[in-house]
Amino acid sequence: MFGLIWENFRISLSSIFANKSRSILSVLGIVIGVLSVTLMGTMISGLDATFEKSMASFRSNVLFISRMDWFGGDFDWWELRNRPRIKQEYGEKLRIRSQFVEAVAPTSDRGGSIIRKDKQIDTRFFGTTPEYLATNDATEIASGRFFTEGENRSGTRVVIIGAGIAEALFEDENPLGQHVKIGNHKFRVIGVTGKMGTFMGLFSLDNQAIIPLGTFQRLFARRGWMSIRVKLNTSNVDEAKEEIRGHMRVIRGLKPTEEDNFALPHSSTFESQYQAIKLAIGGTGIFITALSLIVGGIGIMNIMFVSVKERTREIGVRKALGATQRTILSQFLMEAIMICFLGGLLGLGIAFGFSKVINQFFPSVMPYGLAMGAIFLSIIIGIVSGLIPSSRAARLDPIEALRYE
């Protein structure tokens, strides 16, 4: 049994390498198919890891109150633009009225530059309250401290900087207690956040700065784009969201017939959009993979028919010497499988190289199971595409095969 398998394996390899150009051209479809499915899986794996890391600051028990939904919805832009602004006092009113509110953190942000001596870095800085840390699990103070409620109320010029800002402006120095300028105003650094990376590869979370909301409103903008982060004390987000929606309608003075003039975004909004993007990527990849594998399978089947035709006399000789139909079938089937298997390995090797390049832009590692699945799929294609030509070779009449010129 094993001797027959080894003999078929040896004959298959010798036939493949005897016709290198033909074998390479016939296997291109398999290479492209395996390359497509592995790269697609690698990208989705990287996207999943990046998404999970990015969503750390949007946990399922945190609700946002803002003028607009994150993804627009079906509303007219001018209607959204003219909605009344979100006010800081809404958070305190919700804390009193709602049974589901555990912590509230209003935030206002803007872009700008942070300067220290002759060094400058463009960043976004935002004002918030001391409860911000309770509403954002992703933000941790690596060194120093967060500001106090007293510093917030008095508008003290203190700042917590991200790890990226600390590296850019202070290098090997300790930033705590030193001063930086935001705009024309000097701030004392009291804390540095831990490294958080980028949000979906779009912008760095380490190049942000946090100042007291009272300071932000006094120095930069009392009116502006404000949102409120609300940490819930329940896992039943839908019930809490509906209750808070009712309180917000009362706070905003809306009549029963009027539509909401505010939004309550939640992490599920991001998740649904992400799943739609992932489905589109996956669907495109599956279509390309299926098309490539079908074309590759047809090409290999055609090459196998040619191979059977070319080796008709060889088949006749082998049958005359006692080779059975099963032996002939397994020989040609092994050849088709080996072509697809080698094509799968080649596609996997190219995909592995590309995955290293992709990993430079966002974390992505080719899943081990996906690699094994791609090889298994290429073997299946080899079996399917080689079965009919192999069956035809096995059924050849030995006398007619010996007479073939």
Share above pLDDT 90 across residues of the chain, in percent, rounded to a whole number: 12
User: pLDDT tens, 324-347?
Assistant: 777 777 777 887 888 888 888 888
Round to whole Å and give the CA distance between 70 and 374.
Answer: 38
Structural contact between residues 88 and 158, judged by C-beta atoms closer than 8 angstroms: no
User: pLDDT tens, 141-184?
Assistant: 889 999 999 999 998 999 999 888 998 888 888 999 999 998 88
Per DSSP, the three-state class of 197 is: coil
Asked whether the CA dihedral 11, 12, 13, 17 is positive or negative, the reply is: positive
Q: Which pLDDT score, from 0 to 100, does residue 160 have?
A: 94
Per DSSP, the three-state class of 191 is: strand
Per DSSP, the three-state class of 124 is: strand
Q: Which pLDDT score, from 0 to 100, does residue 127 have?
A: 92
pTM, two decimals, is 0.64
Share above pLDDT 70 across residues of the chain, in percent, rounded to a whole number: 81
Identify the residue whose tokens are 């980028």. 198
